[in-house]
Amino acid sequence: MFAFLAEHRGEVFPDEDYADLFAAGVGRPSLPATRMAAVLTLQALHDLSDRECVEAVRCDLRWKVACGLSLLDEGFDPSSLVYWRKRIAKSDRPHRVNDAIRQVIEATGVLRGRRRRAVDSTILDDAVATQDTVTQLIGAIRRVARQVPGAAEVIAAECTGHDYSRLGKPRIDWTDPDAKDALVSALVNDANAVLAALTPAEPDGKAEPDGKAGPDGKAEPDELAEAARALLALVAGQDVEPAEGSDGRDGRWRIARRVAPERVISTVDPEARHTRKSPSSRRDGYRAHRVAEAGTGLITDEQLTKAAGPDNADAAVAQQFLAHTEPEGSEPVRGATCDDPANSDPANDAPADDAAADDAVGAGPGTRSWPGTATRPTAPGSFGTRSSGPVTGQ
C-alpha cells in the first residue's frame, strides 16, 4: 500500500476532486488534498488515532514516501484530520475517498473471479443520553415550541400538564404509580392538543404543510417544523397505552406494558436505537455494516444503519450489498453469514415496566470474520504493475 500510494496517489486522489471543499482565494492555503487523502486512507488501514497517525507521518519513512513528504517535513497538527473529515462529511460527496479506492479495486482486477463475500457489523455507541417517556414528551413539546412558527403561543394557551418553560422533570411523587399515570396522561393530552392546534386542514380535510410560497407559487414545507411535529406525534404514542378501563378517548393514559419496535430513545438524536449483543450487554447507537471479499479481506462496501430493526440486520443489509456487487449477466455473488443467537433471542428484550422503557429489538444475524488476508497479484496493465497498456476494469 505504501508503494502504491507513492506511485499513484496523484491519480487516485487528484487535487481537483477536492476543490469543492474550499472557496478559491479565501484564507490561507490548505494542506494538499492528494496528501491528506492518502493519510486518511493509511489511517483507516492501520486503525490509528489522530495523534498516532500524525506521529506516523512525522516519524515513519514509509508514510513519508507514501505521502510524498521530505525527510525534514514536520507533519501537521492532529486537528487537521478532524477538519478534513468534517469538510468531506458535509460535502455533496461524503464517500469520495471510499469511491476512489473502489475504483482502484475495479481497475486492478484483484477481485475478478472472486464471488464470495463476508458481511460483518459492529455497534457504534452514541453519546446521547437515553431518555424516559416523560423526558421525551417534555423535550418534544419544547422542540415544537422552538421550531414551529406560532407554537410557543399555542403551548402557553393549550397545555396545562407542565410548565414547559422550566427545565427538568415535574415535581411529583415518583414512587406513586397513580401520580405517574396522571402526569403521563396530562403530558400526552398536551401533546395531542398541540398537534391538533398546529395542523390546519384544507376544505377537503387534508392537512396543509407549513412553509412559504416558492418560485412557482407552491408551498415549500418547513422541514424543521415538520420533523418537530412528527417527532412529537411519535413519542406521544410509542410508549403509552389507554389506562385500565379506558378506550383512550377519555384522556387517561399509562406507560405501555410492552416495548415499541424500534423505539426512539432520545429526542436529541431520534435515529439512535437500543440493541443488545448479549442479555447483559445493552448498547445505544448505530450499526456499521461492511462487506469484504472472503479471500483477500478487501472491504468493498459499507453502510450505516439504525442499531435495531429487521431492515437493519446483517442478513437484510447483506442482500443490498450483494445486489450492488453482482454485474449484470454474471455468476451470482455468494454471501457468508451466520446467526448470532444473542441478537435474536426474545429473552433479551427488556420489559417496559416504567417510564424508562427499553427497546431490546434483536440486532439480527451476525457474521463471522472472513478467512485469510493475502492478496493475489494484480491484473497486467493495471495500477499495481509498471507495465504500460490500458487499465483493465472488473
Give which of 332, 386, 336, 338 is closest to 365, Cα–Cα.
Answer: 338
- What cell was used for 313? 440486520
Distance of alpha carbon 151 from alpha carbon 80, whole angstroms: 42
DSSP state of 248: S
**Digits of tens for pLDDT over the chain (394 positions)?**
888 889 988 888 888 888 888 776 666 667 888 999 999 989 988 889 999 999 999 999 999 999 999 999 989 999 999 999 999 988 888 888 888 888 888 777 888 888 888 888 888 888 877 888 999 999 999 999 999 988 999 999 989 889 998 888 898 998 998 999 999 999 999 999 999 988 765 555 455 555 544 444 443 447 888 889 999 999 888 888 999 888 878 889 998 888 888 888 888 888 888 888 777 788 889 999 988 888 888 887 888 899 888 888 888 888 888 776 655 445 555 555 544 444 444 444 443 333 333 332 233 333 333 344 344 444 444 444 333 333 333 3
What's the one-letter identity of residue 85? R
Question: pTM of the prediction?
Answer: 0.62
Give which of 302, 301, 295, 299 is closest to 373, Cα–Cα.
Answer: 295
Domain ranges of the chain: 1-110, 115-130+273-375, 133-255
Q: What are phi and psi of 343, to 5 degrees?
A: -90, -10
